[in-house]
Structure formats: structure tokens, C-alpha cells
Structure 1
Amino acid sequence: MIPRVYGRVGTPVEFRGSAYDFGHAIAAIQFSMDDGKTWTAYDTPNTNDYQNVSWTFEYVPEKAGFYVLKVRSVNDCGKVSPEAAFAELRVR
């Protein structure tokens, strides 16, 4: 889990984390704000199979409430993380 983040409506919130898959390079990081119904992928070119990939994701909440960001990686063989990491966001 990624630490809980607090934000305000209309103000960008930044999430940070890292991904790794020992023996395989990370080809992309995917993000979902709708409980995994849809995923947005960002390619991670020039990665290797022995270092972590650091990522950031910026989100601008449109209304107050509680949100959950899900994050997963895709390796160079096309396999997706077996379980997504998540971060909670409380917006006022």
C-alpha cells in the first residue's frame, strides 16, 4: 500500500511509488481510479531487469470524497502484476 494522501478539490495531487519484477524489465505502469474497470498505461522505455522503476501519477479531483488509486506494472513479457498496489486519497 502507498501512504494515504490528502487533497483539495481542483488542486493536483501527486502519488509516487516504485515497481520491480526481478528477472524482467518493467515495460509499463498502469493506473486506475475506477477500481480497476479501466487502466491508463504509461510506457517505461529503457528499463532493465535489475533496477526499480520509479513512477509518479498526478490526479486533479473534481469533487470532495474518498478515492482509491490502483497501480500495477506490466513486464517485458506482457505479464501484469498479480495484485495491484493502492493508495487512498481523501479530498475536501
Structure 2
Amino acid sequence: MLKTQKGSVGAPMTFSGYAHDYDKAIVAVQFSLDGGAHWTEHATPGATSDRLVQWEFEFIPKRSGEYRLLVRSVNEQGQASPTPDGVSFVVEE
């Protein structure tokens, strides 16, 4: 589970966590801020099946409002997590 945060327009917000897929290596972590319609992928070179993958995502909000960040991993077989993790957060002026 991701930690809930409050942010301010123009100020960087950093989210972090870890991913694992038991006996498969994680080759990428994907992030979405539009409900999963589009995903931004970040490769995880050197990941192995016997270690957790630590990830970090920085977001600089341009507008105030309510947001939801979704995060999912992709394993070495190209399979994305069936249920992404997510966190809702508020950005103020």
C-alpha cells in the first residue's frame, strides 16, 4: 500500500515502494495518473527473481485537485500485475 500524501501546485511529490513477482524477475514498473488509460513504463535493468525491486516516482502537479496514482509491475514474461496498487492524493494551490 502506498502512503497518502498532500501536495502543492508546482512542488515535487515523491512516491516510493517495492514490487515482486515471487519466482519471476520484474523488468519494469508502470505508473498511471489517468485511471489506467495510459501507463508510463520505467525499466528495471538487472532485476532478478530473488529480490524485491525498489521504485520511486516523482510527480510535479500543474493543477490543484484530487488525483489517483496507479502502480503495477511487469514480469519477465511480459505479464502486468492484474491489480495495480494505488493511492489517492490532493493537490492544493
What TM-score range do you get, normalising by the shorter chain? Answer: over 0.9
The alignment partner of 2:34 has SS state of: coil
**CA displacement at 1:87 relative to structure 2:** 1.4
Cα separation, 1, equivalents of 2:5 and 2:55: 16
Please show how residues 8-87 of structure 1 align to structure 2 within 5 Å. 8-87=8-87
Structure 1 outlier segments of 4+, above 6 Å: none
Query: What fraction of aligned residue pairs are identical, expressed as a percent?
Result: 41
- Note the residue ranges of structure 2 that are not aligned, 5 or more in a row: none
Stretches of structure 1 that go unaligned for 5 or more consecutive residues are none
User: How far apart in 2 are the matches of 1:6 and 1:51?
Assistant: 31
Cα distance between partner residues in 1 of 2:50 and 2:89? 31
**TM score, norm. by length of structure 1:** 0.97
The alignment covers a number of residue pairs equal to 92
- CA contact under 8 A between 1:61 and 1:91: conserved in structure 2? yes
Question: By how many angstroms is 1:89 displaced?
Answer: 1.6
In structure 1, what is the Cα distance between the partners aligned to 2:78 and 2:14? 27
**Displacement, 1:88?**
1.5
What secondary structure sits across from 1:83 in the alignment?
coil
